[in-house]
């Protein structure tokens, strides 16, 4: 995954998080939808198996927050866990 695409993904996820904090679920999910495939691709390019498992567990936590309709928790997971993990990969 190219560095530019990773930056675009991070920006989209930051926007999703911002919208969810504002309780704008529909707008946030609209932006999140195309991010899901990109997150799946990102998980696949992680070379360390431990990193892959950790990232997949973060995605599962995000899904659980979505199912519970806990927008604040979902925004927190995206903002502080998923984005952080993606940024660590970039370094």
Residues in the chain: 91
- What pLDDT, on the 0 to 100 scale, is given for residue 18? 98
Question: What are the φ/ψ torsions at residue 69 (nearest 5 degrees)?
Answer: 55, 35
Give the domain extent around 54.
Answer: 3-90
Terminal C-alpha separation, the chain: 14
- What pLDDT, on the 0 to 100 scale, is given for residue 39? 94
- What pLDDT, on the 0 to 100 scale, is given for residue 1? 72
Q: How far apart are CA 51 and CA 57, in angstroms?
A: 10
Q: How far apart are CA 67 and CA 44, in angstroms?
A: 24
Three-state SS annotation for 27-63: HHHHHHHHHHHHHHHHHHHCCCHHHHHHHHHHHHHHH
Number of structural domains the chain divides into: 1
The one-digit pLDDT tens for each residue of the chain (91 residues) are: 788 999 999 999 999 999 999 999 999 999 999 999 999 999 988 988 999 999 999 999 999 999 999 999 999 999 999 999 999 887 7
């Amino acid at each position: 995954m190219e560095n530019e695409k990773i930056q675009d993904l991070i920006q989209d996820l930051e926007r999703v998080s911002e919208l969810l904090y504002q309780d704008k679920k529909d707008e946030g999910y609209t932006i999140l939808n195309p991010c899901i495939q990109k997150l799946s691709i990102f998980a696949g390019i992680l070379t360390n198996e431990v990193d892959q498992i950790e990232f997949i567990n973060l995605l599962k936590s995000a899904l659980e927050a979505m199912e519970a309709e806990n927008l604040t928790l979902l925004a927190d997971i995206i903002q502080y866990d998923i984005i952080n993990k993606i940024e660590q990969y970039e370094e």
